Amino acid sequence: MTLEAKFKNEQIIPDVVDEAPRSTLVVTFGTLQVDLGNELTPTQVNSPPSVAWWPEDNSYYTLVFTDPDAPSRANPIRREFLHWLVGNIPGGDVSKGEVLAEFLSSAPPKDSDLHRYTFLLYKQKGKVEFEEEKIPDTTREGRRHFSARKFAGKYGFGVAVAGNYYVAQWDEYVEEVNKKLAGT
């Protein structure tokens, strides 16, 4: 099944984006690769992944990692929940980008069923002066009700150049994330 068919089948189109990314983003947590809807656990994805694509020379990119199923796919009243946002990535080196929202592991609530954790990569027209406040990994503030679609539109990014997703449901590691976020 194609990337577009997978995004439509899982309703990432229209829940997150209007069009499928142009190519598949390579996302790896340790030795585990994200593979268009494979199931991974919060324990397996508890630190930032390696992300790879074929960058164009002298280009900047923005990486979005979002959960459209907050608190559940059946009741997404906090759609989307932002898990990671890095802009002004020079070439293909995420570590040199501007972190707008620090990485936060998947943390689906207990009994909320599978969540679709979606990665989108946008090519910028040049370096961007982002208006957003930086979001630390110790808060939910600024993460709820994020919209990849609106964010990309605000900065004129157009259609994502690459994307991927996995699904996850609650496991015991979610309690560690909740402790980190306690009170927010």
- Sketch out the chain's domains with CATH numbers: 3-180 (3.90.280.10)
Report the helix count and the strand count for the chain, using DSSP H and E: 4, 10
State residue 115's pLDDT score.
98
pLDDT tens, N- to C-terminus, the chain (184 residues)? 899 999 999 999 999 999 999 999 999 999 999 999 999 999 999 999 999 999 999 999 999 999 999 999 999 999 999 999 999 999 999 999 999 999 999 999 999 999 999 999 999 999 999 999 999 999 999 999 999 999 999 999 999 999 999 999 999 999 999 999 976 6
Residue positions counted in the chain:
184
171 burial via Cβ count (<10 Å: 0-12, 13-18, 19+): middle
> What's the token pair of residue 116?
């679709």
> What's the token pair of residue 70?
């907050």
State residue 184's pLDDT score.
61
**Phi/psi at 25 (5° precision):** -80, 135
State residue 80's pLDDT score.
97
Give the DSSP H or E segment for 177: helix 173-180
State residue 183's pLDDT score.
66
> What's the token pair of residue 89?
């990535």
Q: Which of 101, 98, 115 is nearest to 148 (CA)?
A: 101
Cα–Cα distances in angstroms (integers) from residue 129 to residues 34, 50, 119, 154, 159, in the given order: 30, 25, 22, 12, 20
Cα–Cα distances in angstroms (integers) from residue 24 to residues 21, 46, 144, in the given order: 7, 22, 26
State residue 1's pLDDT score.
85
**pTM of the complete model:** 0.97
State residue 108's pLDDT score.
96
Q: What whole-number distance in Å separates Cα of residue 52 and Cα of residue 58?
A: 16
Q: What whole-number distance in Å separates Cα of residue 154 and Cα of residue 158?
A: 10
- Secondary structure (3-state) at 96: helix
